[in-house]
Amino acid sequence: MDHRNETREHKEKIQAMEQMINNTQENIHKAEQDIEQTALAARKEKLEEENDKRVESIENFRREIEEERSFL
CA 43 to chain centre: 22
The pLDDT value given to residue 30: 98
Distance CA 44, CA 37 (A): 9
The pLDDT value given to residue 2: 85
| pLDDT of residue 67 exceeding 70 | yes
3: confidence class by pLDDT, cuts 50, 70, 90: confident
pLDDT per residue over 11-53, tens digit each? 999 999 999 999 999 999 999 999 999 999 999 999 999 999 9
Distance CA 45, CA 50 (A): 9
Comparing CA positions, the residue from 61, 59, 70, 65 lying closest to residue 14 is 65
Domain residue extents for the chain: 3-69
| pLDDT of residue 1 exceeding 90 | no
